[in-house]
């Protein structure tokens, strides 16, 4: 009986240690609650947050701490609608911001008043294949060949998956000179080959790394960042035509108390400052600042890039392409 | 005694084939996956294992999980013992129904528990929408995690204490009453010593389950690093992010803790163990 009790007392002491009066920091620091979509985890926690904390402390201000959570953009949006105390959220899709607005969490269109209409950074959608490209995949059309296994995140929860669907459909549309039937056929062909659907882009990459499938459709930032860290074992295939995703920041005013306003406003401005944008570039994102265009030598060239604006923005693309074509036509025909 | 051991050895010889088969099944099913956690955790050497553990988020997640587990075990030790006492010592209409309700959490998927707590206490939930304007928000906060763990682990305490109570004859309590002990004295001096073993194993089980709880926690916590992220959520988040070393370091610690708890459970509750 003595051993278990000693063990419990030891565990309890360890657990409460930071909260004991003599071990505790003099003043609990101010916090910013930040939610982000899956691939932001590294750049925010080891790049952007520390840089801002340093800049903020350099002005002699009381230290600020970040409380953060990262998941698929759709998951984050649903959590915020359910009431998590997020103060800032960087979402993959503007349509997720619109969902927040229609749920009454933020004012409609409030993000468009931010710099660059709320877009913090971007990255094109690419195909990642195994080393040496054994399946000879050179474009989205090759993903529709029979026998290819495609790892894809799930459009229900992942922003990246929505971008991918529009990239696959849009590329088909542009390559066929606007033939909607050909584009839909290409989308169907690719989705017939999908072997794994993960909840987020980051989770899909982990699945691919563990050996599932022959190809992964994902943000260019993912393999670029892996390559920078020397962890990349595959190859990047740049489709001749693909979408440049744009990631939207929302400020959730109703969760920001008067005491937090100044530091949050400063952090929001900081995100578009050149030092912060350089950090995004170093982690493989493409900057929105014109002067940083092409700052990362790793960025690949895309013959025919397009934007969501070419489809009338997410307000049109989401109901027409993702829900209308992908969900109701393609998926319904594949899994009747 | 010698006879018995001889007999057991004879039986042992005949048992060799089924025991071997069982080991053959258990090896890939249970033992190898557990070994993999430890092998992966130490693959980068003890240095990187310790470094992964020393990160602020990992430390917070472990401490937070332990605190929640202690609180859950403490609260449920009281509530569960009370429930077991009422169900064991009183006869009343609806008793069977109540006994089922008490054990219900075992049968409900934990994700469903999380969802239902959110739909009740969440800011848009049935009760939560009245509490929210008052500034009371149990969900996405440590209180919400505790609520979820109390719910999920409730039956373990009752399950451990009630059978022990059922076996104690009421004549002891009646004897205590007749010599003038009040209800509290009777409980403390007569019942408590008798149910100590049940309490102990119930608390350990509750603690272990709370430490590993995932399904309900992931929904009610909001998964906030340094605020509501428990160790299992940390493992999942790090694994999903591809940080296998970080995930495995904490996983190895959790697994070790569970081993220790089960060692205590087995040692102290099996006949032939040190106590009982």
Residue with tokens 């000179």: A177
Q: Which residues of A touch B (CB under 8 A)?
A: 1, 3-4, 7, 11-12, 14-18, 33, 38, 41-42, 65, 67-71, 79, 81-85, 200, 202-203, 205-206, 209
Residue of chain B nearest A42, judged by CA positions:
B241
- Which comes out higher in pLDDT, residue A294 or B227? B227
CA B71 to chain centroid: 11
User: How many Cβ contacts (< 8 angstroms) between chains A and B?
Assistant: 79
CB contact under 8 A, A38 and B241: yes
- Gap between the terminal Cα atoms of chain A: 61
Distance of residue A82 Cα from the nearest chain B Cα, in angstroms: 6
Together in a domain, B119 and B23: no
Whole-angstrom Cα distance, residue B225 to residue B223? 6
Residue of chain B nearest A198, judged by CA positions:
B240
Whole-angstrom Cα distance, residue A119 to residue A126? 20
Residue B191: which of B156, B166, B159, B160 has the closest Cα?
B166
Together in a domain, B80 and B175: yes
Together in a domain, B61 and B86: yes
Whole-angstrom Cα distance, residue A100 to residue A119? 16
* Contact residues on chain B for A81, CB-CB shorter than 8 A: 124
Domain count of the fold of chain B: 2
Distance of residue A45 Cα from the nearest chain B Cα, in angstroms: 11
Whole-angstrom Cα distance, residue B114 to residue B151? 10
Within-domain flag for B275: no
- Predicted pLDDT of residue B11: 59
> Which distant-in-sequence residues (6+ apart) come within 8 Å of A26 by Cβ?
none
Together in a domain, B236 and B171: yes
**pLDDT of B7 above 60:** no
Residue of chain A nearest B257, judged by CA positions:
A11
What's the CATH number where B240 sits?
A: 1.10.3720.10
Q: Which helix (H) or strand (E) holds A58?
A: helix A49-58
Together in a domain, B104 and B18: no
Across residues B232-261, what is the average pLDDT?
91
* Contact residues on chain A for B122, CB-CB shorter than 8 A: 82-83
Within-domain flag for B274: no
Whole-angstrom Cα distance, residue A76 to residue A85? 11
CB B159 within 8 A of CB B102: no
A119-129 and A286-287 beta bridge pairing = antiparallel
Q: What b/e readout covers A292-304, taking b as 16+ CB neighbours within 10 angstroms? A: beeebeebeebee
Token output for B224: 């906030």
Within-domain flag for B181: yes
Q: Which helix (H) or strand (E) holds A305?
A: strand A304-306
Residues A161-196: tens digit of each pLDDT = 999 999 999 999 999 999 999 999 999 999 999 998
- Which comes out higher in pLDDT, residue A272 or A296? A272
DSSP string for B77-129: HHHHHHHHHHHHH---TTHHHHHHHHHHHHHS-HHHHHHHHHHHHSTTSTTHH
Together in a domain, B258 and B173: yes
CB A215 within 8 A of CB A128: yes
Which of the 8 DSSP states describes residue A133?
A: -
CB B226 within 8 A of CB B209: no
Across residues A114-128, what is the average pLDDT?
96
* ipTM > 0.90, yes or no: no
Within-domain flag for B233: yes
- Predicted pLDDT of residue A29: 77
Within-domain flag for B276: no
Domains along chain A with CATH numbers: 2-121+246-292 (3.40.190.10), 123-245+301-334 (3.40.190.10)
Q: What is the residue range of B3's domain?
A: 1-41
């Amino acid at each position: 009986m003595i051993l278990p009790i000693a063990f419990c007392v030891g565990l309890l002491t360890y657990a409460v240690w930071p909260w004991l009066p003599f071990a505790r920091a003099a003043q609990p620091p101010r916090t910013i609650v930040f939610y982000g979509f899956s691939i932001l985890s590294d750049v925010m926690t080891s790049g952007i947050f520390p840089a801002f904390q340093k800049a903020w402390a350099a002005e002699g201000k009381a230290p600020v701490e970040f409380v953060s959570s990262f998941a698929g953009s759709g998951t984050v949006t649903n959590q915020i609608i359910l009431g998590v105390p997020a103060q800032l959220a960087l979402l993959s899709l503007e349509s997720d911001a619109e969902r927040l607005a229609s749920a009454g969490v933020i004012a409609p269109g409030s993000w468009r008043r931010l710099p660059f209409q709320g877009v913090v950074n971007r990255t094109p959608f690419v195909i990642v294949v195994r080393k040496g490209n054994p399946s000879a995949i050179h474009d989205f059309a090759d993903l529709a060949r029979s026998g290819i296994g495609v790892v894809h995140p799930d459009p229900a929860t992942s922003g990246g998956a929505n971008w991918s669907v529009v990239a696959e459909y849009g590329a088909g549309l542009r390559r066929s000179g606007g033939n909607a039937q050909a584009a839909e056929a290409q989308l169907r062909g690719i989705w017939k080959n999908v072997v794994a659907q993960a909840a987020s882009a980051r989770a899909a990459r982990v699945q691919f790394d563990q050996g599932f499938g022959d190809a992964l459709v994902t943000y260019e930032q993912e393999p670029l960042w892996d390559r920078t860290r020397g962890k990349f074992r595959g190859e990047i295939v740049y489709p001749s035509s693909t979408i440049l995703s744009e990631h939207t920041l929302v400020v959730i005013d109703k969760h920001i108390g008067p005491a937090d306003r100044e530091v949050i406003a400063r952090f929001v401005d900081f995100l578009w400052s050149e030092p912060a944008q350089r950090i995004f570039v170093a982690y493989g994102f493409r900057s929105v600042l014109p002067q940083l265009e092409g700052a990362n030598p790793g960025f690949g060239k895309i013959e025919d890039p397009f934007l969501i604006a070419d489809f009338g923005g997410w307000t049109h693309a989401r109901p027409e392409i993702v829900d209308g074509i992908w969900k109701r036509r393609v998926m319904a025909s594949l899994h009747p | 005694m010698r006879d018995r051991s001889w007999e057991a050895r004879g039986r042992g010889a005949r048992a060799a084939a089924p025991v071997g088969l069982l080991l053959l099944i258990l090896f890939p099913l249970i033992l190898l996956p557990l070994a993999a956690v430890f092998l992966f955790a130490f693959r980068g050497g003890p240095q990187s294992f310790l470094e992964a553990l020393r990160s602020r988020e990992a430390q917070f997640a472990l401490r937070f999980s332990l605190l929640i587990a202690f609180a859950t075990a403490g609260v449920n030790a009281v509530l569960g013992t009370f429930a077991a006492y009422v169900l064991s010592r009183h006869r009343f209409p609806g008793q069977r129904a109540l006994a089922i309700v008490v054990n219900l959490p075992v049968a409900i998927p934990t994700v469903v528990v999380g969802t239902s707590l959110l739909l009740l206490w969440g800011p848009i939930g049935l009760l939560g929408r009245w509490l929210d304007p008052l500034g009371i928000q149990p969900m996405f906060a440590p209180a919400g995690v505790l609520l979820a763990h109390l719910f999920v682990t409730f039956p373990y305490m009752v399950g451990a204490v009630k059978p022990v109570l059922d076996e104690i004859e009421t004549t002891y309590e009646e004897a205590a009453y007749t010599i003038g002990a009040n209800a509290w004295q009777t409980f403390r001096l007569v019942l408590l010593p008798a149910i100590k073993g049940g309490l102990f194993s119930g608390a350990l089980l509750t603690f272990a389950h709370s430490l590993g709880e995932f399904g309900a926690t992931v929904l009610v916590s909001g998964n906030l690093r340094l605020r509501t992220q428990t160790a299992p959520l940390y493992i999942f988040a790090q694994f999903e992010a591809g940080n296998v070393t970080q995930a495995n370091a904490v996983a190895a610690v959790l697994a070790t803790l569970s081993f220790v708890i089960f060692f205590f459970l087995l040692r102290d509750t099996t006949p032939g163990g040190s106590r009982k």
